[in-house]
């Protein structure tokens, strides 16, 4: 059974100006998401700045998210690492916290062969019972998990459910869908490709856009799932300029700026991420106004 269908938000981790996690504001962001129909919350992913959280902070944020959500929607925790043992540790602790699923990024920097990726993900998933999604984002990791490896993992490991596909390579994703035979739950990892990937059998999106437009992102997915393809496509295209603006600098710089513009107090970023360039911030603000969320 799939962990979720529809729009899952890759939620930001709000911070105070000194860099500490702002848990009170995190709770408010969770409530904003649930009130606006989000279908799942993905905590401590790329957008949540997991790479600059300490292990203790990482797990504290996951535990806090699980407590605040309180089973109202599925919570999926980013617990991947380029170190297999670290990923096992984070995954076991997240499972203890009560998450509904894990998101496991491909190993970055040291990378791996396809056989190495298979061994890495299999070893992590078999250390827990909770279902897991692979996360393919070669633009960040320098490592691409091929469709054949995804299918092999989903067939061989009972709790590997599918993949968040953020390669941007529609041909690769189509090939994955063609050879999977229904054994792989595919989620778009790019907000500008929700409808194209759902047209290939994808179940939804793990979304940056949903941080600022949860209702609209949910509707893009729900309309498609309910057969209102024309409506879904229109909403996808209407959101395209905002999707582009949210990635005009490296994620999550623009989305934190966007939330701050909305009065949502996402706060600062941890270095090496820095504040958005003023010219880009002005463009983002204009696009947000044009889209109707400012």
Beta strands in 79-136 (DSSP E): 101-105, 132-136
pTM above 0.75, yes or no: yes
Burial (Cβ within 10 Å: 0-12, 13-18, ≥19) of residue 113: exposed
Residue 240 lies in a domain: no
Q: Which of 118, 135, 187, 224 is catalytic?
A: 135
Residue 238 lies in a domain: no
Residues in the chain: 294
Residue 200 lies in a domain: yes
Residue 180 lies in a domain: yes
Q: Which of 118, 164, 235, 256 is catalytic?
A: 164
> What is the tally of structural domains in the chain?
1
Contact 204, 198 (CB under 8 A): yes
Residue 259 lies in a domain: no
Supply the pLDDT for residue 1. Answer: 74
Residue 242 lies in a domain: no
Triad 59, 3, 157: Cα angle to 5°: 85
What's 9's DSSP letter? E
Look up the CATH number of the domain holding residue 48.
3.20.20.70
Residue 261 lies in a domain: no
Question: What whole-number distance in Å separates Cα of residue 74 and Cα of residue 171?
Answer: 30
Could you list the residue range(s) of the whole structural domain that residue 45 is in?
6-228
Residue 281 lies in a domain: no
Q: Pick from 87, 34, 88, 35: which is nearest to 65 by CA?
A: 34
Supply the pLDDT for residue 200. Answer: 98
Q: Pick from 182, 241, 221: which is nearest to 40 by CA?
A: 221
Question: What whole-number distance in Å separates Cα of residue 54 and Cα of residue 50?
Answer: 8
Mean pLDDT by 10 residues, the chain (294 residues): 95 97 98 98 98 98 98 98 98 98 97 97 98 97 97 98 98 98 97 98 98 98 98 98 98 98 97 97 98 97
Q: Pick from 188, 217, 192: which is nearest to 36 by CA?
A: 217
**What are residue 155's phi and psi, to 5 degrees?**
-80, -35
Active-site residue flag, 187:
no
How big, in percent rounded to 5, are the helix, strand and coil portions of the chain? 50, 15, 35
Greatest Cα pair distance, the chain, in angstroms, is 49
Active-site residue flag, 158:
no
What is the tens place of the pLDDT at every residue in 136-195? 999 999 999 999 999 999 999 999 999 999 999 999 999 999 999 999 999 999 999 999
């Amino acid at each position: 059974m799939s962990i979720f269908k529809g729009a899952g938000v890759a939620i930001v981790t709000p911070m105070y100006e000194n860099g500490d996690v702002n848990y009170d504001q995190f709770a408010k962001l969770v409530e904003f998401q649930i009130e606006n129909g989000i279908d799942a919350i993905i905590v401590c992913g790329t957008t949540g700045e997991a790479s600059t959280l300490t292990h203790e902070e990482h797990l504290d944020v996951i535990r806090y998210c699980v407590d605040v959500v309180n089973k109202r929607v599925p919570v999926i925790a980013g617990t991947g690492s380029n170190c297999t043992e670290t990923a096992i540790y984070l995954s076991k602790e997240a499972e203890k916290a009560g998450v509904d699923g894990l998101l496991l990024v491909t190993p970055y920097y040291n990378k791996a062969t396809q056989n190495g990726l298979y061994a890495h993900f299999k070893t992590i998933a078999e250390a827990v019972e909770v279902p897991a999604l692979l996360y393919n984002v070669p633009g960040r990791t320098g490592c691409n998990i091929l469709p054949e490896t995804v299918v092999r993992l989903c067939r061989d490991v009972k709790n590997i459910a599918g993949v968040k596909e953020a390669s941007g390579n529609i041909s690769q994703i189509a090939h994955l869908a063609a050879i999977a035979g229904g054994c792989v739950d595919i989620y778009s990892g790019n907000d500008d490709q929700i409808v194209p990937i759902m047209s290939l059998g994808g179940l939804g999106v793990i979304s940056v856009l949903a941080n600022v437009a949860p209702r609209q992102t949910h509707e893009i997915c729900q309309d498609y799932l309910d057969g209102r393809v024309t409506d879904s496509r229109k909403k996808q295209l209407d959101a395209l300029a905002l999707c582009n603006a949210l990635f005009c600098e490296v994620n999550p710089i623009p989305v934190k700026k966007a939330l701050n513009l909305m009065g949502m107090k996402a706060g600062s970023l941890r270095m090496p991420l820095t504040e958005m360039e003023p010219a880009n911030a002005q463009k983002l603000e204009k696009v947000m106004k044009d889209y109707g969320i400012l």
